Chains A and B, each alone.
Chain A
Amino acid sequence: MARALGWTLLCLAAAVTLLPFVYMLAVSFAAQGTIYSGALLPAPSLAAARENYAFALTEVPLARFMLNGALVCGVLLVLQVTIAAPAGYALAKLPFRGRPVLFGAVIVALMIPMQVPAIPLYVAIAWMGLLDTYTALIAPFVISALAIFLFRQFFVNYPSEVIDAARLDGFSELGIVWRLMVPAAWPAVAAFATISIINHWNDLYWPLVVVTRTEMMTPPMGLAAFRSSGESAGNVGALMAGGVMITAPLVLAFLFFQRALVRGFGMGARA
C-alpha cells in the first residue's frame, strides 16, 4: 500500500518534470497555426518540423553557439579538474598547518553565489580588455570550490598505506594524484563533470555580463537573443526547435553519466 503510494507520487513527480520537455519537443514539430489550437499536445508534421529546425539554424548561428558552449564547458572542465584534484588531495591527505581553515574556506566558498563577485570580476575583465573573449567566459570559474570539496570527500577514504607504498615506489605527489587517486575517483570526476557541464552550458547570467558580440554567445544566451530578434518574434515552433537542440547534448550527457553521477554523490555524501 505504502509502496503503491510511493510509486504514484514518483510517477506524478516524473510527469510534472518531463511535461515541459515533451511539450517543447511537440511544439518544435508543429506548424505555427496548430500550436494554439487548444489541444494538449499539438499534432506533429514533418514539413513543419523541417521548417522550424531550418529556421532556428539559419536565422541565428545556433551551431556557433553550441560550439562556443562546448568549447567553454570542455576547457573549463579540464582546468577545473586539473586544479581541484591536487587541491582535494592536499586537503584530504597531506597534513599541513592551516588545513582545517583552508577546508572551511572551501565550504564557505561553496555558499557564495556567483552574483556576489560579479561586479569586481566584470571590472577586472573589462580593465584587462578581455570582454567578449573565451577567457572572460572561462577564467572566473576555473577554481571550483564544489570540485575541490567533492574530490576531497572522495580522496579522504583512499587508504593511506597505498599512498605510502606509492611514495616508496617513487611516485611523486602529483603522480599519486593522477595515477592513483583520480583513476580510483572516476565516479566523483563523472559526477562533477555532469554538474559543471550542465551549469555552464545553461548559464545565462555570466555570458550576459561579459559577452555582447553574437559570435561569442553561448547557447542559452543565443536562444534569448533569437527570441528577441525581430524576425523570429512569435515563431514559437522555431524557438522550441532551438530549445530542443541546445538541451539535447545535456540530456545525452546525463544519460551517459547517470550511473556514475548517482555513485559519485552517494559516496561523497557518506564521507
Chain B
Amino acid sequence: MQGTDHTMESQTLEIADLTCRFGAHRALDAVSLSVGAGEFVSILGPSGCGKSTLLRSIAGLEAVEGGTIRIGGQSVDGLRPRDRGVAFVFQSYALYPHMSCAENIAAPLRMSELGPLGRLPLLWRLSGRMRRTRESIADRVGATARQLQIEPLLGRRPAALSGGQRQRVALGRALIREPALFLLDEPLANLDAALRNRTRTDLRALQRRIGATTLFVTHDQTEAMAISDRIAVMFDGRIHQVGTPDEIYRDPETLAIARFFSQPHLNVVPAATLRRHIGGATAAGDIRIGGAALEGMAGVVAFRPEDASIRTARRPGLPGLPCTVDHAEHAGHDANLFVRLADGETAVVRIRSHEIADWPQGAEGVLHFDLDAARRFDAPQGEAETPSRAREVA
C-alpha cells in the first residue's frame, strides 16, 4: 500500500437530458446529473428503473437517443467505449473465463499499449521496446494485485475463485486503467451479507485513497446511504431526487422515495383520517406537519415506525391516534408492533422487543408520532403509487 497505489486525476461528469428508448419503453427519460471530481455518487432505485442503463450509456455500451455526456468537460458522445476513459465493474464481474487472473487484470493494458504484434506469443522477445512494455505491464499487474491483496490468486482462472475474489479481480481490471471515472454496477450484489458489508467499507476506503470519481448503482438503500457522498434516486427512467444520504432520508420529495428509504415499513395515513381521529388537548387546527397546518390539509401524512410510539393512555397535551394492537414481529433489539387505526388502516410502531408482552392482540392504546419527523405527500391515486403519477397530481 506504499507508493504503489494508483492515484487518478479526478474528473467531473455531467449528464444532460439523456434519453434512451427500448422499443416503446423509455429506459431513460431526460436524465440529468452532475458529479463532482472525486465524488462518490450512488444511483439508487428498484430493479428495472433504468439505473443500469444509465451506467451503460455513460460507458458507451448503450446507444442513446438524445442528450449529452461530458467527462472532465469533454463530450464523449459518439466515442467508442474504449476511448471514454471509464472503467466498469459488472454485477457478474464479467471476467474472461479462459484467462488467468493476471491476464484478466492485464487485458486493458495489453490492448491499449501493445500492438497486435506485441500480443503474439514469442515474437515480442525480438523487440526491446515490446519487452519493456510487457515488463511494465507485469509490474503494474503486480502492484494492483498487491493493493487488492490478490497476489496469490494471479495464476488461477476465474472459475477457481470465490465470489469475493472474483470481485477483487474485476476491481483490479478496472483499477489498472487509471480511469477518469469508475462505473460500478451492483458490484456487491452477488456477495454474501457479511462479505458485502466488509467489501463496502473497503471499496469506499479505496475510492477515497485513489480519489476517483465514482458512480455506484445499487437497489439497496442502506448500502447507498452507507457509502455515498450523494445519492440520486431513480424511478421509471427518471431521476427523482439528488442529495446527501441525510437530505434524502430526512426530506424525501415523494411518497415513493419515502417508502424506498423506510423499508420495510412506512406508515401512511390520509390527512383526513388524521384530522378526524386525532385527539388531544390541542385542536386539530394547531397541529402542524411539515410546516403546514393539518386543518384543510389534503393528501397523506407519512411517518416511520421509529418516529412513532404507543401508550396505554393519551399523553396530556400531545395529539395521538386511538388504535388496537394486531400483532408484533420480533426483530432482535427492537420489535415492530402492528396496530389498527380507527378507520381500519394498519400502522407500525417500533417498540423494544421486551415490551412485546405488554401489547397482546386486541389491546387498546394511543399512537403518538413525532410531528416534526412526519411528512405530507400527495395522495396516491388507486394503484398509481408511482412517484411520477404523484408528481402529475401535484
Contacts and interface: CB of A to CB of B under 8 A. Distances in A.
Do A and B pair up? The answer is yes
A219 B272 CA distance: 94
A171 B116 CA distance: 11
B112 interface: yes
B98 A164 contact: no
A164 B90 contact: yes
A164 B56 contact: yes
A271 interface: no
Nearest to A163: B94
Nearest to A186: B98
A168 B81 contact: yes
B4 to A, nearest CB: 22
A128 interface: no
Interface in B335-384: none
Given A164-B88, A165-B88, A170 B97 contact: no
Given A162-B96, A184-B97, A184-B98, A167 B61 contact: yes
Contacts of A164: 56, 59, 61, 81, 88, 90, 94
Interface string B83-101: 0001110111011111000
For the complex, would chain A's binding face be called helix, strand, loop or mixed by DSSP majority?
helix
Interface in A171-187: 171, 175, 180, 183-184
Best-surrounded residue of A164, A166, A168, A170 (most CB of chain B within 10 A): A168
Best-surrounded residue of A162, A169, A170 (most CB of chain B within 10 A): A169
Interface residues of B, number: 22
A158 to B, nearest CB: 9
Interface in B57-115: 59, 61, 80-82, 86-88, 90-92, 94-98, 107-108, 111-112
A161 B108 contact: no
A113 interface: no
B173 interface: yes
A159 interface: yes
B108 A169 contact: yes
Given A167-B61, A169-B111, A162 B98 contact: no
A167 B81 contact: yes
A183 B98 contact: yes
A253 B98 CA distance: 25
A168 B96 contact: no
Contacts of A166: 96, 107
Size range of the chain A interface in the assembly: 10 to 19
B107 A169 contact: yes
B111 A171 contact: yes
A165 B94 contact: yes
Contacts of B82: 167-171
A144 B92 CA distance: 34
A164 B87 CA distance: 11
Given A159-B92, A161-B92, A168 B97 contact: no
Contacts of A169: 82, 107-108, 111, 173
B94 A162 contact: yes
A67 to B, nearest CB: 30
B81 to A, nearest CB: 5
Contacts of A159: 92, 94
Given A161-B92, A162-B96, A183-B98, A168 B87 contact: yes
A180 B96 CA distance: 7
A209 B112 CA distance: 50
Contacts of B80: 167
> Which 6 pairs of residues, A with B, have the shortest CB-CB distance?
A170-B111, A161-B94, A165-B94, A170-B82, A169-B108, A161-B90
Given A159-B94, A169-B173, A170-B82, 10 more contacts: A161-B94, A164-B56, A164-B88, A164-B90, A165-B88, A167-B61, A167-B80, A171-B107, A183-B98, A184-B98
9 contacts: A162-B94, A164-B61, A164-B88, A164-B90, A165-B96, A167-B61, A168-B86, A168-B87, A183-B98
